[in-house]
Structure 1
Amino acid sequence: MTAGSDLIAKIARRQDLAEYQKKHWTGTFAEYLDFVARDPKVTRNAYQRVYDMILSFGTDEIVIHKEKYVRYKFFDDPIDDGHDAIFGLEKPLMNLVNVLKSAALGYGTERRVLLLHGPVGSSKSTIARLLKKGMEYYSQTDEGALYTFDWREEGPDGETHWIPCPMHEEPLRLVPLEHRAALLGELNEGRSPDDFQVRIVGDLDPYCRQMFKERLASYSGDWTRVLDDIRVRRVILSEQDRIGIGTFQPKDEKNQDATELTGDINYRKIAEYGSDSDPRAFNFDGEFNIANRGIIEFIEVLKLDVAFLYDLLGASQEHKIKPKKFAQTDIDEVIVGHTNEPEYRKLQSNEFMEALRDRTVKIDVPYVTKLSDEVKIYEKDYNSRRVTGKRIAPHTLEVAAMWAVLTRLEEPKNAGLTLMQKLKLYNGKTLPGFTEDNIKELKEEAEREGMHGISPRYVQDKISNALVAHADERSVNPFMVLNELETGLRHHSLINNEEVRKHYKHLLAVVKEEYEDVVKNEVQRAIAADEEALTRLCGNYIDNVKAYTQREKVKNKYTGQPEEPDERLMRSIEEKIDIPESRKDDFRREIMNYIGALSLDGKSFDYKTNERLQKALELKLFQDQKDTIKLTSLVSSVVDKDTQEKIDIVKGRLIRDYGYDEDSASDVLNYVASIFARGDVKRGGG
């Protein structure tokens, strides 16, 4: 056997032919009624199917700033390994699913266009793409199975041909109006009002209606014999095959025709059938036609010509379209459009568009305003699988995301709060004097937050530029990306206001300052990461605090003599975390109460469980050790052996604890060393 044949044989063994046959099932109308009796949900309409599809992936309940949200796992894109995952938009997505739920229950929103509205690059297209992808996937599952039918035709050669229903109609629409009530009574018998009820809504499309009438006439009105000329089959929705998934994009007005939505005359078949109003001489292949039973996406919907908007109004409100030369035709599909802010403002100010405004449900899709979620957007594109042969230094994506989020936040009305502090509060950090309720108030007072600012797309472009521009270097660091972001601002096509440009540039300086503080902190912690020394220092501090709060003396470990508590040692630690002289007694009692409470629970005290004390001890140890390490000597070309060994230990800790590699650890040590060389370090480490 050749290598090629062997490979084909291996693939052949992996095939699941039984699954293929199940997805391509064909049978009689009677067999289909058996399916319906067993599982009435095969007859669901498009809105019910979309809603159930989203729920089928499961949900989580999460709490953000004291508010409960339902998180729908579908929007993590489990179908495509997270390729289109959406981060940080729990509230807009919950609003969207609530609208779909209302539509599925028939409460009125099924007669509206779902309008995703937000700034460029805010995930509107991704949401629409996910819904379409989800419907394709769901239709292949047992739970999401749906069916249509074909017509039997005898060819000139006597062979049987099966002609598919052009709009993939629900087979129950073949039941004449006068028999529907009786059939539904049988199918729904024994079901409670809370159970899913089978319904038959709408009539056949013009082509199927013609085929039905011809056969009914030939069988002298015997409807049951018409059923012998149809076969029911399972249908798999597919955008590629134009089955149940449609997408419409505005083009130049001169090149656009309404028939793209509702189908057009097939001129070659007019000679065969003798009339342009014969449905067999018509192609029911407009986007509305082919999207029947599924979903249609309108890209930049508000850029549509007025003629198209009329079609959209009828499709949403009446669930009907008007193909040329034919009566209004029933459709069953979810209509999703998306638009950006300028186009929506035009809609609001245009009195001729009032009918469209009345028939839309607007769902705001803002930019992400939580730093950790914005970081995830960039990690998805610039992880180790995507960026081969090059490392992205720690904090590079974080500083880019930090700047992007800052551009979207509104200045807090609280004069004592900076924009950077607001960003940290939104990201789950705690600040003295701010509670969850305060954060909720901050969000409520900034209604437009996230509806303006820099798009993730711009940041992704600049990260890509940095990777290309520094192709000769093994890693890309935060400064390379920040420089790209700043350079790009001069030519950013969406910034036409010089004040806005200046503000964004100022925010880059704010981010650089924050990054400087972060890396100084990391280097300081790496220098002070001597567990034994920290434990000794902590023990010494606690002994002194205990003696101080209980008005006792401390036994000197060397002389054995009792001495007054070491006030100088205690203050040198407390000052590192800005405990003023007037608050030192409160802080010391707080520490002793904390230790006492642990003791009552049978637990021993560990400085790592108290974040503030740990930080104070690390900064104190760093202050004591930095001179012995001579970090500033890094900026010189000659480093003695003893210093080099200590620097290597610090570098090893940066690699082990903070995600650096050899090169980026050296870079960050040199950078922090240059800060110390300038003497530009805040008391207490920043």
Structure 2
Amino acid sequence: MEPKELLETIKARVGTPVEEVTFAKYLDMVADDPRLARLSHAIIGDTIDDAGLSVGPDGEERFDLFEGELFGQEHVIQQVADYFRAAGRRLDVRKRILLLVGPPGSGKSTLVNTLKKGVETYTRTDDGRVYAIKGSQMHEDPLRLIPEDLRGDLDVYVEGDLNPEVSWIVDNVYKGDITKVPIRRLYFSISHGVGFGTFVATDPRSEDLTRLVGDVDLSLLDPTDPTSAKRAYKFNGELNAAHRGMADLLEVFKMDERFLAVLLSLSQEQIIKTNGPGTMYADEAVIAQSNLAEYEELVANPRAAAMLDRLVVVKVPFVLSVRDEIRIYEKMLAGADLGRNDVSPLALHTAATFAVLTRLTHPGGGMQGLIRKLHLYDGRFGTHGGAEDVERLREKSPEEGMTGLSPRYVINRLSSVAGSTKGCLDGMAVLQALWEGLPQRAGFTEAERERWGSLLSATEAEYDEMVQLELRKAAVLGYRDSAEKMARAVKDEVGLWEKQGEQANMPTLRRIERLIDVPQYGRDRFRRALVASFELKGQRGRPLHTRHPLLQESIQRALLPSWGDVGRMLEDQSEGLVEGLVSAGWKKGCARHVVEYAHKFTESKRDRDRKGEQPTWYS
């Protein structure tokens, strides 16, 4: 892009052209487009909906506004969207504080910041236009100029009184003539605090309430003029800045009771109680954030009943899907310089596997039961497990994901090992780094050491399985092309089955069903799942043979050699396996490294099997 073109693009994106109209003109605009009268919750709800919906690989609806920002949090986002849709229709839920509860690093701030950026962008579009009274520090809604007894003549909803500052301007600057009050288009801005306020609670003993509600400029007070307080008030509190938009309150329950009382008045009555000219109406969505421990302290406090009654609680757990956890790491590492390291394609998968295992509630059935749960949550459904099993497991463990390792810890350890080593950063190096960092975590107990040591051993076994699969693929020249050809045949045949039933000619489909032991009573469900996976919009662009886990597994069984055959290749054709990995996208150093590792773990496993030993990380 040429510099001139780049500047024009930037100007179009961030420029704020001045658009000023008379109040009479503004009333005509409202008559033509009633959306101009929207309150804050409706603006935010429309921001979410206007960005659009799409269908993910798992068939779930996904809100495009959060695409690429949050992963695996569709259920959380759906609850937030439902809240703003209901609040935007002025249901009583808008008089509640939206509270996001979750462990540090679970995505609470990312969700709120993405929402802010979306609203900021939306107000720069024609559909998201917002207007305010010129000169108002709180960007007052022009429709509040209309006396309350005359508002019923409008075809739109109007609520709230003018704040003291605007009342003084109307009376003294425009002599009470509202037709002379100029109206300007308002562009929300995060950096300039227009439509957004952010408050981080610190030490309640030294906290100043004016940070929330503004303050009086004593130099402007005139003891002989009783109206001077209206002009002397500085609307520089975070709740003032959030008027017409959103207040973001972090560590909310670290606030003392004075602050919480202000929030109660704001949520329940839509008023801000000040130290200056009384109270003022405020139209803003209040989003608070808290960790689980502080929220549970509040629940246990009998004096907090009024506050609890004013909360809509949305829990934001860590993600429980390995593939979503990997996407979080990829986002966090985007643009990072890992020095002289190549990263194995299996490294992030290994880290994500261990992190997710630390968050899961054990379903019983030993480690095998936990691994089965891990696979189900990752969408790796077997013939006797599916989406309904995932829902059942989640219902049994509503607090799942509220504890465990955070993505930040994993990235910190990856950064540590990347800075101290060179060559290939593989799965085993990642596991070692994760394990060595655990004693540094606050509150790490001996019981956790033993439990998480067993989880690391299980993760190592999963890593070994992945290594074997990658080498089996590397042993077949042109595996991907053959797999795609077979998948296309399955797609054609399952289409015939939809039209002709069991009379259709389906040799390839029947073969893959035999390979993965699909029972006769499960064939219809399996075939319908295949059809859905082929048709999902969110799957477009992905290789056909990877669109359904069981299809992928069956094709691998059909085309790939056994591990025994590959094990023999490790002895005398290892360079051929290295080249096969390189052709599949591996860096040569990592390819050679994993082949050497496979040779070693094969020998080691033989020795352990012979001695009847199990690997351990906590001996």
Same fold (TM over 0.5): yes
User: Paired residue for 1:234?
Assistant: 185
Q: Residue 655 of structure 1 is aligned with which of 577, 582, 586?
A: 582
Q: Which amino acid aligns with 2:574?
A: I
Cα offset, 1:227, TM superposition: 2.5
Determine which structure has greater relative contact order: mean sequence separation of CA pairs < 8 Å that are 6+ residues apart, divided by chain length.
2
- Provide, for residues 269-325 of structure 1, a one-character-per-residue CA deviation record: whole Å limited to 9, x for no partner: 125975696211111111111110000000011111110000000000100111113
Cα offset, 1:257, TM superposition: 1.4
CA–CA separation in structure 1 for the residues paired with 2:13 and 2:551: 58
Asked whether 1:673 is paired with 2:615, we answer no
User: Paired residue for 1:79?
Assistant: none
Asked if the contact 2:22/2:182 (under 8 Å) is kept, the reply is yes
Cα offset, 1:623, TM superposition: 3.5
Question: What's the TM-score once normalised by structure 2's chain length?
Answer: 0.82
Q: Map residues 470-549 of structure 1 onto 2, 5 A cutoff.
A: 470=421, 473-493=422-442, 495-527=443-475, 529=477
CA–CA separation in structure 2 for the residues paired with 1:167 and 1:336: 19
Cα offset, 1:9, TM superposition: 6.4
Q: Residue 107 of structure 1 is aligned with which of 73, 91, 106?
A: 91
User: Paired residue for 1:615?
Assistant: 557
Cα offset, 1:60, TM superposition: 2.5
CA–CA separation in structure 1 for the residues paired with 2:446 and 2:276: 55
Partner of 1:91: helix, strand, or coil? Answer: helix
Asked whether 1:244 is paired with 2:195, we answer yes
CA–CA separation in structure 1 for the residues paired with 2:10 and 2:516: 67
Worse overlay, 164-173 or 29-38: 29-38
Q: Residue 74 of structure 1 is aligned with which of 62, 65, 70?
A: 65
User: Paired residue for 1:401?
Assistant: 352
- Provide, for residues 162-206 of structure 1, a one-character-per-residue CA deviation record: whole Å limited to 9, x for no partner: xx1111001111112233233x1xxx2xxxxxxxxx111101001
User: Paired residue for 1:199?
Assistant: 157
In structure 2, list runs of 5 or more residues that go unmatched. Answer: 487-514, 528-544, 610-619
Asked if the contact 2:339/2:418 (under 8 Å) is kept, the reply is no
Q: Residue 211 of structure 1 is aligned with which of 163, 169, 172?
A: 169
CA–CA separation in structure 2 for the residues paired with 1:17 and 1:519: 50
Q: Residue 173 of structure 1 is aligned with which of 132, 144, 148?
A: 144
- Cα 1:34–1:98 change in 2 (3 A) is same
Question: What's the TM-score once normalised by structure 1's chain length?
Answer: 0.74
Asked if the contact 1:45/1:293 (under 8 Å) is kept, the reply is yes
CA–CA separation in structure 2 for the residues paired with 1:526 and 1:87: 30
Asked if the contact 1:399/1:511 (under 8 Å) is kept, the reply is yes
- Provide, for residues 367-410 of structure 1, a one-character-per-residue CA deviation record: whole Å limited to 9, x for no partner: 10111111110111224676576421111000100011001111
CA–CA separation in structure 2 for the residues paired with 1:299 and 1:333: 16
Partner of 1:363: helix, strand, or coil? Answer: strand
Asked if the contact 1:403/1:507 (under 8 Å) is kept, the reply is yes
CA–CA separation in structure 2 for the residues paired with 1:400 and 1:436: 25
Q: Residue 340 of structure 1 is aligned with which of 291, 294, 298?
A: 291
User: Paired residue for 1:253?
Assistant: 204
User: Paired residue for 2:280?
Assistant: 329
Asked if the contact 1:117/1:339 (under 8 Å) is kept, the reply is yes
Asked if the contact 2:56/2:62 (under 8 Å) is kept, the reply is yes
User: Paired residue for 2:384?
Assistant: 433
Cα offset, 1:681, TM superposition: 9.0
Asked if the contact 1:215/1:226 (under 8 Å) is kept, the reply is no
Asked if the contact 2:245/2:284 (under 8 Å) is kept, the reply is yes
Root-mean-square deviation (Å)? 3.3
Q: Which amino acid aligns with 1:267?
A: L
- Provide, for residues 141-165 of structure 1, a one-character-per-residue CA deviation record: whole Å limited to 9, x for no partner: 1111101122xxxxxxxxxxxxx11
Instruction: Name which one, 1 or 2, has greater alpha-carbon Rg.
Output: 1
Q: Which amino acid aligns with 1:121?
A: G
Asked if the contact 2:424/2:593 (under 8 Å) is kept, the reply is no
Partner of 2:221: helix, strand, or coil? Answer: helix
Q: Which amino acid aligns with 2:128?
A: G
Q: Map residues 544-623 of structure 1 onto 2, 5 A cutoff.
A: 611-612=553-554, 614-615=556-557, 618-620=560-562, 623=564
Cα offset, 1:337, TM superposition: 0.1
Q: Map residues 298-377 of structure 1 onto 2, 5 A cutoff.
A: 298-377=249-328
Cα offset, 1:613, TM superposition: 7.4
Cα offset, 1:327, TM superposition: 2.6
CA–CA separation in structure 1 for the residues paired with 2:164 and 2:600: 78
Asked if the contact 1:313/1:359 (under 8 Å) is kept, the reply is yes
Asked whether 1:444 is paired with 2:392, we answer no
Task: Give the percent of matched residue pairs that are identical in Structure 1 and Structure 2.
Answer: 30
In structure 1, list runs of 5 or more residues that go unmatched. Answer: 1-6, 77-81, 151-163, 189-197, 539-576, 595-605, 633-642
- Cα 1:386–1:8 change in 2 (3 A) is same
Asked if the contact 1:527/1:626 (under 8 Å) is kept, the reply is no
CA–CA separation in structure 2 for the residues paired with 1:97 and 1:435: 27
CA–CA separation in structure 1 for the residues paired with 2:13 and 2:327: 40
Partner of 2:189: helix, strand, or coil? Answer: coil
CA–CA separation in structure 1 for the residues paired with 2:343 and 2:13: 47
Partner of 2:205: helix, strand, or coil? Answer: helix
Partner of 1:53: helix, strand, or coil? Answer: helix
Asked if the contact 2:472/2:561 (under 8 Å) is kept, the reply is yes
Partner of 2:179: helix, strand, or coil? Answer: helix
- Cα 1:9–1:382 change in 2 (3 A) is closer
Worse overlay, 53-62 or 353-362: 53-62
User: Paired residue for 1:157?
Assistant: none
CA–CA separation in structure 2 for the residues paired with 1:10 and 1:434: 54
Q: Residue 123 of structure 1 is aligned with which of 107, 112, 133?
A: 107
Cα offset, 1:465, TM superposition: 1.1
Asked if the contact 1:36/1:43 (under 8 Å) is kept, the reply is yes
Asked if the contact 2:131/2:142 (under 8 Å) is kept, the reply is yes
CA–CA separation in structure 1 for the residues paired with 2:602 and 2:311: 59
Asked if the contact 2:338/2:415 (under 8 Å) is kept, the reply is no
User: Paired residue for 1:148?
Assistant: 132
Asked whether 1:49 is paired with 2:43, we answer yes
- Cα 1:178–1:107 change in 2 (3 A) is closer
CA–CA separation in structure 2 for the residues paired with 1:615 and 1:314: 64
Q: Which amino acid aligns with 2:592?
A: S
Q: Map residues 453-472 of structure 1 onto 2, 5 A cutoff.
A: 453-470=404-421
Cα offset, 1:474, TM superposition: 3.4
Worse overlay, 44-53 or 408-417: 408-417
CA–CA separation in structure 2 for the residues paired with 1:303 and 1:15: 40
Cα offset, 1:234, TM superposition: 0.6
- Cα 1:93–1:294 change in 2 (3 A) is same
Aligned length: 551
User: Paired residue for 1:93?
Assistant: 77
CA–CA separation in structure 1 for the residues paired with 2:259 and 2:357: 39
Cα offset, 1:126, TM superposition: 1.0
- Cα 1:114–1:521 change in 2 (3 A) is same
- Cα 1:385–1:63 change in 2 (3 A) is closer
Asked if the contact 2:339/2:419 (under 8 Å) is kept, the reply is no
